[in-house]
């Protein structure tokens, strides 16, 4: 339909504005009444996970992993002050290089630079390494609370984010099954944030600083990746149950 083509063009336009190469993406459409439904397959899940990894892993390395490695190296060799400076210089250097080369700045890099700047200022003012690492725990807990509050208030945060970023028709988003999906994913990411905060705090109070950095990075990434995998699997499972399939599959069904 014309409305679906308009949603497709809108997503392609946003990709061009972001400077990212066009990616194959899934547009959810409803099958006609009485049409046969395609068999459920895990191939779309694997393909979507590969696409997410191809786009997100390099940016994640640039924004979080490399600063963490620099911080750990400088901490063990030069001390806490040098570690703060090294991580901050890398983040601002990566941001400056993208600006100079006129390359798009990933949102994750902007958020990392902002969070790192605030953490560094507070740590320098307090003179405490514990405060430096305790700040993200507080922020993660607050985010989890926001997710929980959105469920209690009847407006799941994941549903609002999905409507903002994905071409989902209002009648599809209002389906009971899709609403349950949004509520479940909101609860899932509240749990992911709480688990990450609790794990980080336990490591912070039990481990020396250098082992804490390595263990915290590994555990936080593992928890986040698990949340992403569960989100993709749950979403595709609901799409098949509700009769929502990729546009390519819909075209094949109509042709048959």
Positive or negative CA dihedral for 189, 192, 193, 194? Answer: positive
Percent of the chain scoring above 70 in pLDDT: 69
Q: What is the mean pLDDT of the chain?
A: 75
Least confident of 11-15, 109-113, 179-183, 186-190: 11-15
In contact, 37 and 240? CB cutoff 8 Å: yes
Position 167 scores a pLDDT of: 60
Asked whether the beta carbons of 14 and 233 are under 8 A apart, the reply is no
Model confidence at 49, in pLDDT bands (50, 70, 90)? low
pLDDT of 44 above 70:
no
Does the global pTM surpass 0.75? no
Lowest mean pLDDT, pick from 21-25, 28-32, 154-158: 21-25
Q: How confident is the model at residue 222 (pLDDT cuts 50, 70, 90)?
A: very high
Tens of pLDDT, residue by residue over 124-151, are 888 888 888 898 898 889 889 988 998 9
Residue 53: pLDDT band with limits 50, 70, 90? low
Residue with the larger pLDDT of the pair 193 and 3:
193
Residue indicated by tokens 């794990």 = 199
Residues 88 and 66 sit within 8 Å (Cβ to Cβ): no
* Nearest Cα to Cα of residue 206 among 109, 133, 114: 133
172: left (phi over 0), alpha (psi -120 to 50) or beta: alpha
What are the start-end ranges of the H helices in the chain? 2-17, 43-60, 66-77, 80-100, 107-126, 129-152, 157-165, 170-173, 176-206, 209-241, 247-255
> What are the residues whose beta carbons fall under 8 Å from the beta carbon of 164, sequence distance 6 or more?
none
Q: What is the pLDDT of residue 248?
A: 46
Mean pLDDT of the region 102-118: 79
Comparing 88 with 27, which gets the higher pLDDT? 88
């Amino acid at each position: 339909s014309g409305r679906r083509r308009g949603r497709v063009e809108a997503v392609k336009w946003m990709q061009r504005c972001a400077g990212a190469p066009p990616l194959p993406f899934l547009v959810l459409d409803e099958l006609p009444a009485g049409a046969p439904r395609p068999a459920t397959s895990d191939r779309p899940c694997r393909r979507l996970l590969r696409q997410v990894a191809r786009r997100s892993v390099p940016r994640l390395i640039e924004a979080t992993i490399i600063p963490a490695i620099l911080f750990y190296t400088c901490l063990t060799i030069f001390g806490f002050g040098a570690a703060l400076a090294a991580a901050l210089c890398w983040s601002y250097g990566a941001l400056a290089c993208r600006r100079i080369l006129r390359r798009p700045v990933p949102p994750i890099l902007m958020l990392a630079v902002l969070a790192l700047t605030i953490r560094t200022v507070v740590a320098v003012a307090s003179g405490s390494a514990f405060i430096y690492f305790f700040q993200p725990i507080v922020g993660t807990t607050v985010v989890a609370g926001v997710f929980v509050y959105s469920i209690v208030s009847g407006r799941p945060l994941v549903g609002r984010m999905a409507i903002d970023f994905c071409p989902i028709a209002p009648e599809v988003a209002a389906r009971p099954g899709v609403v349950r999906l949004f509520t479940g994913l909101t609860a899932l990411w509240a749990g992911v944030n709480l688990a990450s905060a609790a794990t980080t705090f336990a490591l912070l109070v039990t481990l020396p600083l250098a082992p804490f950095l390595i263990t915290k990075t590994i555990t936080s990434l593992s928890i986040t990746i698990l949340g992403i995998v569960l989100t993709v699997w749950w979403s595709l499972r609901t799409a098949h149950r509700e009769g929502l399939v990729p546009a390519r599959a819909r075209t094949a069904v109509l042709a048959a």
